[in-house]
Amino acid sequence: MLHIPDSDKKRVVIIGGGFGGLKLASSLGSSGYQVVLIDKNNYHQFQPLFYQVATAGIEPSAILFPLRKVLHRLPDCFLRISEVEKVDTASRIVYTTTGFCKYDFLIVATGAGSNYFGLKNVEAACYPMKSVTEALALRNALLQNLEKALVCETEEERDALMNIVIVGGGPTGTEVAGALAEMKKLIFPKEYKELDISKVRILLVEASKGLLGGMSGKSSLDSLRYLRSLGVEIYLETQVRDYVDGCVVLSNGDTVRTNNLIWAAGISGNVPFGFSKEQITGGNRLIVDAYHRVKDTQNVFAIGDVCAMVTDDLPRGHPQVAQVAIQQAANLSRNFHAMSKNKTLRPFKYKNLGSMATVGRHLAVADLPGIRLYGWFAWYVWMFVHLMSILGVKNRLFVFLNWLWSYVTFDQSLRLIIQRENK
């Protein structure tokens, strides 16, 4: 067992300490329920800045925050670090790698992982960015491959080490492409003087007709223009078909030799084992009603990237972004308070606060309610919004100092290859 203290209060088990799960646990931890939060990590991750960890812009610790530090003042909230193996909705039990836990109410807030669309060779070779450990692995690989390029024997091998292919033109792919392009321009020529840095190719491959598909057409065009001005090669309406013999195979017939394949093309919901096929829709997401209840259940809920609230207006559910998870958690918290007082539940209504993406210094786009921003002003707005969204004053200070140092010096000082030593 997970050894949760017995209580006469209804037990709410939350799986996942992301944006939605942590907000819900925080709001219910002193509200008349016993709350159990289960996560495989003991920290919350600020996912929008993973790409800056991968490109040596900020320290990993600056975007991580201990879950226990958030929850320690809540008397009826308990944290267990474990991985969920199975959910038994009939018996109301969650099974984990360290034991099981009974529940009265279950909330699935497990987020989403990478979707490789069945491309097994690509999955085995690429570097995703869905966790801070994956972002660190990408940073290590990019830097290590440049070191190898200094001593390799053939031009073909050197090309593979210096070519960077990014798959997916959403915010993550666009932002990492811009960050790498600035490193190529400002950092690599100083630190790798023996290499011809002009031969570093940064390619961004997107299957649709434009970048940043969830944003306005003007923002999409601006981001395209910004990236091209930084020297990024962009392939639109192009898909990755395979990765064979060290080469990315594209749908237009081109092949690109690379050891740096970055995957930011799609996501798939992390649905725990135990739910039926009828409860799951496209993108491996749990079907929920307007009150966040999972299909064919009364006491099981899902919020965030792992759920799809399907309506006529939203046949694929809400966008899989942090604001949706946060707002769904707030609404579900209100409904739990209402349930405890036998009051009417409130259906979820998403308030779109806008979208934004940064490409490089003074280069960003933002679609906000009633206004569209671009260029340097959008860049400053992007920095302010993300800085204020990070948990912890100390973390905000560290991120700000890193950004300020980079802005003043046109440099970063975090290009460290940190790997486990082989024994």
pLDDT tens digits, 73-116: 998 999 999 999 999 999 999 999 999 999 999 999 999 999 99
The residue written with tokens 């320690």 in the block is 72
Token output for 146: 């440049």
Query: Which own/partner contact pairs does 134-137 have at CB distance under 8 Å and 24+ positions apart?
Result: 134/50, 135/50, 135/51, 135/53, 135/54, 135/60, 136/53, 136/54, 136/60, 136/418
CA distance 57 to 413: 8
What pLDDT score was predicted for residue 315? 87
Per-residue pLDDT of the chain (423 residues; tens, 9 = 90+): 789 999 999 999 999 999 999 999 999 977 889 999 999 999 999 999 999 999 999 999 999 999 999 999 998 999 999 999 999 999 999 999 999 999 999 999 999 999 999 999 999 999 999 999 999 999 999 999 999 999 999 999 999 999 999 999 999 999 999 999 999 999 999 999 999 999 999 999 999 999 999 899 999 999 999 999 999 999 999 999 999 999 999 999 999 999 999 999 989 999 999 999 999 999 999 999 999 999 999 999 999 999 999 888 888 899 999 999 999 999 999 999 999 989 999 999 999 999 999 999 999 999 999 999 999 999 999 999 999 999 999 999 999 999 999 999 988 778 889 877 765
What pLDDT score was predicted for residue 307? 97
Output helix, strand, coil percentages for the chain, rounded to the nearest 5: 35, 25, 40
The single-letter DSSP state of residue 63 is G
Helix axis angle, 171-186 to 217-229, nearest 10°: 20
pLDDT tens digits, 217-259: 999 999 999 999 999 999 999 999 999 999 999 999 999 999 9
Task: Name all domains of the chain by residue range, CATH numbers in brackets.
Answer: 11-114+268-340 (3.50.50.60), 120-265 (3.50.50.100)
CA distance 396 to 415: 21
Which among 353, 357, 387, 382 is positioned nearest to 368, based on CA atoms?
A: 353
**Do 186 and 180 touch, CB atoms closer than 8 A?**
no
Which among 249, 215, 218, 139 is positioned nearest to 183, based on CA atoms?
A: 139
| Contact partners, residue 261, CB within 8 Å, separation at least 6 | 122, 125, 126, 127, 165, 167, 243, 248
Token output for 255: 């092949």
What pLDDT score was predicted for residue 422? 67
What pLDDT score was predicted for residue 312? 84
CA distance 78 to 199: 53
What pLDDT score was predicted for residue 412? 76
CA distance 259 to 241: 16
* Cα four-point dihedral sign 313, 319, 320, 324: negative
The answer, as to whether pTM is greater than 0.85, is: yes
